[in-house]
Structure 1
């Protein structure tokens, strides 16, 4: 039986932010923590100083719970910013299982962060994964972190069709909980889902209207970067 860690958020979950930083300065970004679920995208996104997004998937399989799975799929839509921090992490561990009864531990975290405007000066993005076997011969342990940073001249608000496509990817990501494929196959399937996410975001970013007239925004080309770290 597969055990999944209880989660407080589902599709469309947002981290704390955007947050206004005054006397505390940009150092406050390091202490931002995840919040709960957000149902729908905002329209007329205001200008903010800085934002922080933090997401994680984490599993620990052992003799008591030999099969563990956890995934995170979070979307953070921000308006014009000066600075942003995005942290995404996947950690999977297996410990103490025997060769005849091996563990299986899979953690997958997908994080989407959208930013906009020409005033943004710094985006600090970290995307890490870690898979650890502790005295666990023959165990299947896999961690995959996938991070997507979108930059557009004007705020990107995902439409209903794009959110439906992303929700479908999210469902298929969660369906990996019930597969017993080797870790290498799980990695290939996660990579394929990540490629779909990047394509969806790329089309949405290209559709963001450009600025009118003479403006620095007119030279701002939308970009979608994907960071992948698996272990």
Structure 2
């Protein structure tokens, strides 16, 4: 359980306003991305608010029967009062036949780090797989969102980023895979578990700093949000 210091009404009102701003800005980014209809990513940071949006989007058709897209984004937002993080994977298979089926796979991994006792995180993580008049097609979408939250200053080390880059390359290798969808899903889940372990180790090794209050600080956490379709 998280225990926090009581806040004044002024701080509460400010946090509420920032929370609404995070929601509004995240919705705006999402609208822009959906109209673009392609893989997209964005990151916006102001003094008080940080926003991150990432998406993988694959579409298989009779002209392009095998489509794959992945996103592996790292967003270090630092100390903010409000954070909005949105991650989405969308896969579509359209108009193929039993004789010539389609295969569409979209995977989006989003790592977001933030720190501070007053941070409010609004995180959404969704996936959607659609077979549109596509009998016998294979369609899979997986969204994996990793939220790292600490009361003290935290940045990913060079070695941690190198390990994350290695995992990103392994995610990209799934593009060449023609294994069954349940195998692809299992491999993506395994990679996600490795990301969680790596982030937990990085967070445990990070210096706490002398300015962290034992009364106001909360337990550092790595939260995995997983949505598959």
**Pairwise CA distance, 1:131:** 0.4
Match of 1:179 in 2: 177
- Correspondent of 2:27 among 27, 30, 34: 30
Q: Could you say which residue in structure 2 is the equivalent of 1:212?
A: 210
For residue 212 of structure 1, give the secondary structure of its aligned residue in structure 2: coil
Indicate the residue corresponding to 2:227 in structure 1.
229
Contact 1:69 1:106 in 2 (8 A): yes
Aligned-residue offset at 1:217 = 7.0
SS in 2 for 1:55: strand
What residue number does 1:166 align with? 164
Shift of 1:28: 3.6
Q: Is residue 57–residue 69 contact of structure 2 (8 Å, CA) maintained in 1?
A: yes
After superposition, where does 1:1-231 map in structure 2 within 5 Å? Answer: 25-26=21-22, 27-32=24-29, 34-35=41-42, 48-120=47-119, 122-212=120-210, 215-216=213-214, 219-231=217-229
Report the CA distance between 1:138 and its aligned residue: 1.1
Shifted more, 90-99 versus 216-225: the winner is 216-225
**Structure 2: stretches of 5+ with no match in the other structure:** 1-16, 33-40
- Root-mean-square deviation (CA, aligned residues, Å) is 2.3
TM-score where L is the length of structure 1: 0.80
Q: Give the deviation of 1:119 after TM superposition.
A: 1.7
Label 1:47 to 1:116 Cα distance change in 2 as closer, same or farther (>3 A). Answer: farther
Q: How many residues align?
A: 200
Give 1 or 2: higher helix fraction. Answer: 2
